[in-house]
Structure 1
Amino acid sequence: MLDIIVPVYNEDKGILKLFDEIQNEIKAFKRVLIVYDFEEDTTLPIILAEKANYSFEIILVKNNIGRGALNAIKVGMRTAVNEMVLVMMADSSDKLDVVDSMCSKMEEGYDLVCGSRYMKDGRQTGGPFLKGLFSRTAGISLHILTAIPTHDVTNSFKLYRKSMLDKILIESNGGFEIGLEIAVKAYIMGYKITEVPSQWFDREEGESNFHMWKWLPHYLHWYFFCIRKTWFKKGLR
């Protein structure tokens, strides 16, 4: 069974597009954990009015440790009870037709399956130029420098094994770098990691909550953390 974590912030009716895609594209038995910051979020009444129209369970989870996507993801990971835990954004930017393949990889024994825009057959369409350049450069260079088994370590679209998550101390305090931190620590701790090609399209509705310049130092911290730890192991310090 699959727990899907979706942080939300005033998504309005855009959340229904995501629910439609989850229902149509993901065959695995699933629950969706909608993590929200405040009771006035415009996403909530729409979910309550429409959730009976979907075949999967939709659970509303209050983020009670501090507003923001980072804390919402943390709360979702703590709330999840199933062994497969998928993190995705509410803006329908990631194509979900690869989720069942990601689940199959985990059934084969992998502990972390990364959606990868920068491997063969992966794709990124639209979005800010500098953000795309940064994530592509970071992902490919870290793969080359450390042999971490993904070309897209910064992507938030990842499937985690719950028992692995429970053993990793999460220290992120910025934003979406949590996915990078977990991937780096999983690699250093010897967990099995793989990737599948994924496709990402710039959001069609609303505004992105990604703040590149604010969060860049946090990404760089875990980027260089991975290099230091892996090179130390190899005696390249």
Structure 2
Amino acid sequence: MEQTLGRVLVVVPTYNERENLPLIAERLRKALPEAHLLIADDNSPDGTPEIADELAAADDHIHVLHRQEKQGLGAAYIDAFRWGMSEGFDVLVEMDADGSHQPEELTKLLDALAEGADLVIGSRWVPGGKVVNWPGHREFLSRGANVYVRLMLGLPVRDATAGFRAYRAAALEKIGLSDVESQGYCFQVDLTLRTARHGLRVVEVPITFVERTHGTSKMSGKVMYEAFWRVGIWGVTGLPGRLRRRH
């Protein structure tokens, strides 16, 4: 049975995305006019904050969260989620600013939420999912990372590292955000694992991931290393905080 979703907030973290931000904001507002957009900027030095402010001044469905420094993807999303829940939004969506996540596919994620999911992941690696213009080494790393996650954590999820996803606010409240320390793409695995271990429903829907055409990827060796060692630790000891297994 489909459920009413309520108010939807799409969170787009930015750091040096001045070329991409106006384009993705326009596409989102056209694809889902009733949704609100929150730009969470990490004090970009390239003029992105000023562009975000201009967009917000022209559209009452666009908001800006100015963060004082670059602290990682996880910290940006947590601040944005807290803002969204304090403002009464019922659904919180993660979406990249670089165009790799297509706003036109967002309705597929929201439809799955309406059918009873608590977390919906836009997946590259389920049947029907695909990537466009991605270098072979990036696909190898992503597929390999997700195999590692499944083996270490026992998660029946094909794309736990995916950053295009939609949460019910009630699910985020239930899993808690206060002790989340992971950053980078490990943050996505962290919240997926917390959601599953709380007995909440995780669903994947296929998407087409398109490699960015402007700007620079934020992927780095540090990001990959964090994901590798944190997932390894969780596989042995469980999640940090209140979900840690007691021995």
TM-score, scaled to structure 1: 0.83
Q: Deviations along 1:138-175, whole A, 9 cap, x unmatched?
A: 32464577663421111111111212212334433442
The 3 A distance-change label for structure 1 pair 226 and 184 is: farther
Q: Distance in 1 between matches of 2:212 and 2:44?
A: 24
Contact 1:149/1:195, CA 8 A, preserved across alignment: no
Structure 2 counterpart of 1:70, one-letter code: G
Match of 1:117 in 2: 124
Where do 5+ consecutive residues of structure 1 fail to align? 231-237
Aligned partner (choices 159, 164, 176) of residue 185 of structure 2: 176
Alpha-carbon distance in 2 for matches of 1:160, 1:151: 17
The answer to whether 1:37 aligns with 2:42 is yes
1:75 matches 2:76: no
Alignment of 1:48-63 (within 5 A): 48-51=53-56, 54=59, 57-63=61-67
Q: Distance in 1 between matches of 2:44 and 2:215?
A: 19
Please say if 1:6 is aligned against 2:15.
Answer: no
Over residues 2-27 of structure 1, what are the superposed CA-to-partner deviations in whole Å (9 max), with x where a residue is unaligned? 11111111212421110121023235
- Structure 2 distance, partners of 1:4, 1:214, is 27
Q: 2:231 corresponds to which letter in structure 1?
A: Y
- C-alpha distance in 2 between matches for 1:143 and 1:70: 21
Identity %: 22
Partner of 2:161: 154
Aligned to 1:16: 22
| Maintained 8 Å contact 1:177/1:219 | yes
Instruction: Return closer, same or farther for 1:58/1:94 CA change in 2, 3 Å cut-off.
Output: same
Is 1:126 aligned to 2:133, yes or no?
A: yes
SS at match of 1:171: coil
TM-score (norm 2): 0.80
RMSD: 2.6
2:202 paired with 1:197:
no
Does structure 2 conserve the Cα–Cα contact (< 8 Å) formed by 1:98 and 1:196? Answer: no
Would you say the 8 A contact 2:42–2:69 is kept in 1?
A: no
Which runs of 4 or more aligned residues in structure 1 lie more than 6 Å from their structure 2 counterparts after TM superposition?
none
Alpha-carbon deviations, 1:103-136, whole Å to 9, x = none?
A: 1211222111001001111011233433321211
Structure 2 CA distance for aligned equivalents of residues 60 and 88 of structure 1: 15
Are 1:187 and 2:196 matched, yes or no?
yes
More deviation, 38-47/75-84: 38-47
SS of corresponding position for 1:190: coil
Note if contact 2:120-2:202 (Cα within 8 Å) is conserved in structure 1: yes
Instruction: Please tell me whether the aligned partners of residues 116 and 197 of structure 1 are also in contact (alpha carbons under 8 angstroms).
Output: yes
Q: 3-state DSSP class of the match of 1:89? A: coil
- Determine helix, strand or coil for the equivalent of 2:166: strand
Residue type of the partner of 1:182?
L
Residue in 2 that maps onto 1:164: 171
More deviation in 87-96 or 141-150? 141-150
Q: Deviations over 1:197-221 (max 9, x none)?
A: 011111100111111x212232224
SS at match of 1:80: helix
Matched, 1:215 2:219: no
Distance of 2:205 and 2:237 partners within structure 1: 25
Unaligned runs of 5+ in 2: 1-6, 239-247
